[in-house]
Amino acid sequence: MSWTNLATNGRILVVDDAMENIQILHQALRGEHDVLFALSGEKALELAHQQLPDLILLDAMMPGMDGYAACAALKASAETHDIPVIFVTALSQPEDETRALEAGAVDFISKPFNVAVVRARVRTQLTIKRQADALRELTLTDALTGVANRRSFNNTLENEWRRCARSGAALALIMIDVDHFKRYNDLYGHQAGDHCLQRLCAAMARCASRPQDLLARFGGEEFILLLPEEELAGASVVAQRLLDEVRATALPHAASPTSPLVTVSMGLAATLPRAGLDTGELIRTADALLYRAKHTGRNRFCFDGHD
């Protein structure tokens, strides 16, 4: 559950089985932050995965799943691992604080707490998280094009594969290659080639319209579009849109034997993720179909059953 306010300095999830404690913390934090709350460890995990808060204030002693178990579960999940957790608890012995830190917490506040101290520690942890997020973004973004890099793609593919396996949803990939790009660089120069890739990425990114879609640079002039919860038919619609967007960009390519404009070729693959299947097989299938598209005329997409 949540309270709505106009604050934008981070979303905080407060977890406590006593509503009066939640109300006190909400009153203390609502002026600067959006506040969510949960009355149990189980509900906290559900909300954390749904809302991905920037910080969690967690009580240690609760019926059912206690704070230590909830914290350990948060840290065991790739989706919530990086959310900082501050324990706010009536426990005050050194061994209690040690146990909290060993479970993955970043700080420990004993009840009864001082509201000013809570605000200060919340601000500190949110600042640290923003800095860590910015650094992580740099390491997961391709410097030239601004889209995700291969490391980011690999991480996201693993997470989405597991998520789709749990929900029984399909997952599709589109492997994309810029046609005759070496000839483009040879004719126009590498600076123009860089600008070309930037323009193409802006066009292709418009086709990754859902929050879960991910466009990544796979290497050189090769890109890959991850489409979770999408079957082959839907992926083919996206691929046609990609062709149209690239064509509308209208970048001249006088050295291309395929077209006077820059074009792309694509291979599409989709599967139902499940135990025993390998993400690498999906990539290899898309890559083989990209190879087919390049050797049957380029400026097209191929998938099994369609050329």
Active site residues: 221
The rounded distance, in Å, linking the Cα atoms of 159 and 61 is 31
**Chain-centre distance for alpha carbon 244:** 26
Largest Cα–Cα distance in the chain? Answer: 75
Cα 201 from Cα 277, distance rounded (Å): 30
Amino acid letter, 219: G
How far apart are alpha carbons 204 and 242 in whole angstroms?
Answer: 6
Sole residue written with tokens 């939640």: 22
The Cα–Cα gap between 216 and 239 comes to 15
Euclidean distance between the first and the last CA atom of the chain, given in angstroms as a whole number: 49
The DSSP bridge partners found for residue 201 are none
Are 70 and 40 in contact, with CB atoms under 8 Å apart? no
Task: Decide if 202 contacts 251 (C-beta within 8 A).
Answer: no
Which tokens sit at 16?
């406590």
| Phi and psi at residue 10, to the nearest 5° | 100, 150
Residue 23 in tokens = 């109300």
